[in-house]
Structure 1
Amino acid sequence: MKFPVVDEYQLHLFLIGLLALFASAIAALVAGTYLGSVSEILAFLPGLLILVPPSINMRGSISGVLASRLSSSMHLGEFEINFSKRSVLGSNSRVSLAISILTAFILGFFAYIISYSFGFTDISATDYVIISVLSGVVSSLIVMGFAILIILLSYKKGIDLDMVGSPSVTTAADLVTIPVLVLTALFILGFPADVRNIFMIPVLIFFIISIILAFFSGEEIKSISKEMLTLLVPLSVICIFAGIIYAENLEKLIAFPALLILITPFTGGCGSIGGILCSRLATGIHMGEIQPKLIPQKEVLWHFLMTYLYVCALMPFLAVISDYFALLTGSESPGVATMLIISVVSGIIVITFVNFVGYITAGLSFMKGFDPDNFGIPVITSFIDLIGASVLVSIIILFI
């Protein structure tokens, strides 16, 4: 089977996606640098690192799904700039915020159970929930606000949202979630235990309001909420295990903070590439241009090829800049050559899995009567968190 001839439009889409990926990578490096700068805090509170992957993932996934669904509505001619309760933009924005808060609440409990079972007892169950929800509310409002801005700009400027939506919101999630999470944790844990429990009051208020928005705002919203929560809850648990992998290898990561700097842009970059793939596959399926089959058709193979081209362009850049940022901040690095090997090899391995899982997820969800826009990005980004953590840590151990 031959790849399709690359026409001017496909090249244009590729370049737009590449530009979005590099822009998101630069911002994610800032978030990674912040993570590297708080290595002493992580050494004192390793349980906090466990919350990092699922928190970033849920913010990026939910806002990414919002962008993907609205992108499909644009292609189908159903989108309009209208924030009313029954409009496509308004209803999707409200349900996305509600789901973000609900998943943060559930995530707090699971984070405690799993971290406790692995011997991380520095944060209590109540504190996990409070930190997860309060940081989730703040970061969700910021990330979703940014996502809506990108959606509106794409609509007005005639830019294909599939190519810029996922990289943009993933970057916003990377950039916002880590500092908000760390600062919220330091703020909450700075109070005595009995005082900290008072913060459960606003947490419960947010939870109740989210329940009302998600399940008592009409059948369509209720259906979307059930579909997404059924998917996001188990995926958030998967992401917690990614955090466990990092926490278990925290000593090696702290020894070379350049590796901590690399984690966020690496997973974010792979997630953005996977998000572009899923958005394009979902749009192609909705438009009837792609038929889910056991053997991918040539249009799908072009999308696969594009992901590898993105990896080959992005990963060397991340390695070099992560090493430079480490030296700039006075942090240790294993060296630019080692960073290049770790980043590029890990990236190629992860994206190979991403292509397979992304195509299977989009095809199966559509054939089972579900919206692939709701499934592709959350599955891929959660998968990347776990597989990315496993692959990245394994390559680090192999070469360091």
Structure 2
Amino acid sequence: MGVQDQGRGTQGPTLRRTTEQRQAKRKDEEKTDIKSKVDSPAKGSAFSGEGLKVVREVCLPYLSAGLGMVGAGIVLDRVQYWDVFQNIPQLFILVPALIGLKGNLEMTLASRLSTQANLGGLDTIAQTLELGGFNLALTQLQGIVVGFLAACIALVMSALSGDTEFNFAYMMVACSSSIITASIASFSLGLVMVAVIAVSRRLGVDPDNIATPVAAALGDLVTLALLSAVASILYAVHPLVHVPILLLYTLIALYCQRISALNKETKEILKNGWTPVLSAMVISSLGGAILNQAIEEYPNIAMFQPVINGVAGNLVGIQASRISTQLHKHAKPGVLPKEVAPINLFNPRVTFFGGKGDGSAGQLSSNSVAARMLLLLVVPGHIVFNTAIGFSKGFGIFSFVFVVLYLLVAILQVSLLLHIASILVYKLWRRGIDPDNAAIPYLTALGDLFGGAFLATVFFIMDKYNLN
């Protein structure tokens, strides 16, 4: 009895000391945790791990894409004086529409396959070949149809403006050139997209950050070079040669339609995916009409048009693809995540500073970090690209006022597109529409329209007030 009482007496102070030690240790841990939160970058800050990851993975493809766009601008600046472009000005209207194919088709394909890759749908070679084959057939069909309709719209716009007289031979050149360019560009760039996404997945790099810049890097230059070469060749042949060409591509389109209908996902796009692609083509053609008018007054605009449009489409394509992948991972079609549903997406603060301004909304906070980092890439990127243009064409085409105005409209263009992307992707998802198939065509087409209008405004101001 005495021994037991003595044991209890010694255990009491020991237990109390142990409890006090645990409480003190817990307080020290809490202080350390609070200090680490204060000292470390905020989760939603521009230079958090998420932001640095975006810059690290995007920077090299972004710069490569921009230099490809510079090349496209130099090509356009040179070919605008060729006989085929001088005699068939409708080709200038075709330029933004055909370049926009990378947004309508290749970047949409990249976004779609990037989502599948992140969900494990391209983990095996068999999966990659199967899904890649069906998607290539789909983009080939879309490319042929869009190429034909883009040529028709260009001819109608030209006829309504009254700038040129109707010429059957020139009409056939425009139609055949547009279809062949769209077909070859879609197939070749589609193959590259499938390979890049499959390799990125195996290397542990997020395809959302890589695929769309690669599409942009190759798309503009390849498309413009193809259009110029094909149009020049067809311009020199007899108009009847175009008839078998058009019949051949009609058969190819019918075959690709049959192949696309064999896969569940591509069959769904085949049925319901035409609206964004065709709407984007019309919007891009409006940008082409602006280019057709502006290039007569300001020939130097040709060098900058592919660059300002391509950079904007490149950056907003990355953001739209990222948001879409998050939704596919964490939400059901037609239902927004709980943290997003009550938020007013039309508020620009949501796009660039997160859901509630305090970093509490995870997805929106992550997206806002990415948006800010992508916006920060605009100015240094354009400085690099304009320097490349200067080395090619001479720096006499630049002035301080021009550079300032150019950078201001470039920032405005990308800011508008990032904000529209934040709204559009979630709204499409809420309506049960897959953003991978619908968002990027609208965004890149709007980028073409904004870029053409803003750039023409800069050249008009420079000329009006003699600021050159």
Paired residue type of 2:91: L
Matched, 1:36 2:77: yes
- 2:409 paired residue among 335, 346, 353: 346
Q: Give the conservation status (yes or no) of the 8 Å contact 2:61–2:213.
A: yes
Q: Give the conservation status (yes or no) of the 8 Å contact 2:50–2:366.
A: no
Spell out, residue by residue over 1:239-271, the C-alpha distance to the aligned partner (whole angstroms, 9 max, x if none): 1111110111122332x3xx3222112211111
Residue 77 of structure 1, CA deviation: 2.1
Q: Give the conservation status (yes or no) of the 8 Å contact 2:100–2:445.
A: yes
1:199 to 1:334, Cα distance in 2 relative to 1, 3 A: same
- 2:193 paired residue among 143, 147, 157: 147
Which moved further from structure 2: 166-175 or 54-63?
54-63
- Counterpart Cα distance in 2 of 1:144 and 1:333: 39
Q: Give the conservation status (yes or no) of the 8 Å contact 2:303–2:389.
A: yes
Q: Give the conservation status (yes or no) of the 8 Å contact 1:319–1:336.
A: no
Which moved further from structure 2: 219-228 or 128-137?
219-228
Residue 49 of structure 1 corresponds to 92
Residue 372 of structure 1, CA deviation: 1.1
Matched, 1:74 2:117: yes
SS at match of 1:138: helix
Identity among equivalent positions (%) equals 20
Matched, 1:271 2:313: yes
- 1:317 paired residue among 356, 359, 384: 384
- Counterpart Cα distance in 2 of 1:86 and 1:225: 19
- 1:194 paired residue among 240, 243, 254: 240
SS at match of 1:249: helix
SS at match of 2:406: helix
Residue 210 of structure 2 corresponds to 164
| Superposition map of 1:248-287 within 5 A | 248-254=293-299, 256=300, 259-287=301-329
Spell out, residue by residue over 1:291-318, the C-alpha distance to the aligned partner (whole angstroms, 9 max, x if none): 3542432333223212320112212222
Matched, 1:210 2:256: yes
SS at match of 1:40: coil
- Counterpart Cα distance in 1 of 2:263 and 2:207: 27
- Counterpart Cα distance in 2 of 1:23 and 1:101: 28
- Counterpart Cα distance in 2 of 1:395 and 1:29: 19
- Counterpart Cα distance in 1 of 2:173 and 2:258: 24
- Counterpart Cα distance in 2 of 1:302 and 1:313: 18
The gaps in structure 2 that reach 5 residues or longer are 1-41, 331-336, 356-364, 464-468
Spell out, residue by residue over 1:8-32, the C-alpha distance to the aligned partner (whole angstroms, 9 max, x if none): 3430222221221111111221121
Residue 272 of structure 2 corresponds to 227
- 2:155 paired residue among 97, 105, 112: 112
1:333 to 1:228, Cα distance in 2 relative to 1, 3 A: farther
Residue 55 of structure 1, CA deviation: 0.4
RMSD (Å) for aligned C-alpha atoms = 2.3
TM-score (norm 2): 0.78
- Counterpart Cα distance in 1 of 2:52 and 2:340: 22
Residue 100 of structure 1 corresponds to 143
Q: Give the conservation status (yes or no) of the 8 Å contact 1:71–1:161.
A: yes
Equivalenced residue count is 391
Residue 65 of structure 2 corresponds to 24
Paired residue type of 1:52: V
Q: Give the conservation status (yes or no) of the 8 Å contact 2:177–2:230.
A: yes
Residue 240 of structure 1 corresponds to 285
SS at match of 1:210: helix
- 2:226 paired residue among 140, 164, 180: 180
Residue 356 of structure 1, CA deviation: 2.0
- Counterpart Cα distance in 2 of 1:101 and 1:317: 35
SS at match of 1:306: helix
Paired residue type of 2:257: I
Residue 363 of structure 1 corresponds to 426
- Counterpart Cα distance in 2 of 1:312 and 1:264: 16
- Counterpart Cα distance in 2 of 1:382 and 1:226: 22
Residue 358 of structure 2 corresponds to none
Residue 291 of structure 1 corresponds to 340
1:233 to 1:197, Cα distance in 2 relative to 1, 3 A: same
1:74 to 1:207, Cα distance in 2 relative to 1, 3 A: closer
The gaps in structure 1 that reach 5 residues or longer are none
- Counterpart Cα distance in 1 of 2:164 and 2:177: 15
Which moved further from structure 2: 100-109 or 237-246?
100-109
- Counterpart Cα distance in 2 of 1:219 and 1:285: 20
SS at match of 2:426: helix
